[in-house]
């Protein structure tokens, strides 16, 4: 298998091939993810909740993201490696450049991910102008959980749906090469996926997206908290971690995951 690049993902979208994405935070799990043929590995700031035991992603520091990205990079062979820029680490374009530089130079990331729409356009432009690939993130924004009033589905009313669609198009025009939609009505996510040229990865956003992402620990059913509605425990009937990850990748590619019960209207 050849190394996955942003061009690879664009070609997969053009061919209608689903893209499998999983989070990882260490070398051991990354080896299994690579063996399963997952195209994209996301070192998510979700590590704050599933590894550190925090109540949200907000306390995660840049140094911690660099450390975990470096751990994953050592075992990464072919997958595109994306790293989250943590809360308050990209409040200005210059700060974003510094954070992204650390994640790529010290951590080994190939792409960085940031949350937000219109307010992030200039940051996306600056990052891409400096050769830094960007994955944007719309819908439920975990770093804005207090502003949103909790973990709630976004884009259900006409105004918010229109704004999300406009933000998605603007982020693509600003240079974003990948977009994550989280907890978005399936119909809206499908419309945005069809409107954009770049691949759209869903999490709780229905089956019409170009690919799917889950938090690894949710997918394995090993988090102590109540699992989100949009996830599925693949370890339950697989017998091993390696088999569960392979089953997830296959389910995404054949279109059996997510099913209707993992989506929102």
CATH number at residue 240: 3.20.20.60
Residue 224 pLDDT = 79
Q: Which range (53-67, 161-175, 217-231, 232-246) has the least confidence?
A: 217-231
Is 115 marked as binding a ligand? yes
Is 113 marked as binding a ligand? yes
- The per-residue pLDDT for range 63-74, each reduced to its tens digit, is 999 999 999 999
Q: Residue 14: pLDDT above 90?
A: yes
Is 17 marked as binding a ligand? no
Whether residue 62 lies inside any domain: the answer is yes
Whether residue 126 lies inside any domain: the answer is yes
Interior CA angle at 139 toward 134 and 141, to 5°?
75
Cα separations in angstroms, 225 against 22, 53, 145: 19, 10, 17
- The per-residue pLDDT for range 126-175, each reduced to its tens digit, is 999 999 999 999 999 999 887 767 778 899 999 999 999 999 999 999 99
Is 26 marked as binding a ligand? no
Sign of the C-alpha dihedral, residues 236, 204, 85, 253?
A: positive
Residue 151 pLDDT = 72
Sign of the C-alpha dihedral, residues 166, 169, 174, 176?
A: positive
Is 210 marked as binding a ligand? no
Whether residue 125 lies inside any domain: the answer is yes
Residue range(s) defining the domain that contains residue 85: 6-262
Whether residue 1 lies inside any domain: the answer is no
Whether residue 191 lies inside any domain: the answer is yes
Q: What is the tally of structural domains in the chain? A: 1
Residue 227 pLDDT = 85
Beta bridge partners of 201: 180, 211
Whether residue 208 lies inside any domain: the answer is yes
By annotation, the residues acting in catalysis are 182
């Amino acid at each position: 298998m050849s190394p996955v690049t942003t061009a690879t993902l664009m070609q997969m979208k053009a061919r209608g091939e689903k893209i499998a994405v999983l989070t990882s935070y260490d070398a051991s799990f990354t080896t299994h993810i690579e063996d399963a043929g997952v195209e994209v590995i996301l070192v998510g700031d979700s590590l704050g909740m599933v590894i550190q035991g925090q109540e949200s992603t907000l306390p995660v520091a840049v140094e911690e993201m660099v450390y975990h990205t470096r751990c994953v990079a050592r075992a990464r062979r072919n997958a595109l490696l994306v790293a989250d820029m943590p809360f308050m680490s990209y409040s200005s374009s210059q700060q974003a450049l510094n954070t992204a530089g650390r994640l790529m130079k010290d951590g080994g990331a190939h792409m960085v991910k940031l949350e937000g729409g219109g307010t992030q356009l200039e940051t996306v432009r600056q990052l891409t102008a400096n050769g830094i690939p960007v994955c944007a993130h719309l819908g439920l924004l975990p770093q804005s959980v207090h502003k949103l009033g909790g973990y709630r589905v976004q884009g259900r009313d006409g105004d918010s749906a229109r704004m999300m669609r406009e933000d998605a198009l603007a982020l693509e025009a600003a240079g974003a090469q990948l977009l994550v939609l989280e907890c978005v009505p399936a119909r809206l996510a499908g419309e945005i996926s069809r409107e954009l040229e770049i691949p759209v990865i869903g999490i709780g956003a229905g089956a019409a997206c170009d690919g799917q992402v889950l938090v690894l620990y949710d997918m394995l059913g090993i988090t102590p908290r109540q699992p989100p509605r949009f996830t599925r425990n693949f370890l339950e009937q697989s017998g091993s971690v390696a088999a569960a990850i392979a089953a997830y990748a296959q389910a995404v590619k054949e279109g059996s995951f997510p099913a209707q019960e993992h989506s929102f209207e």
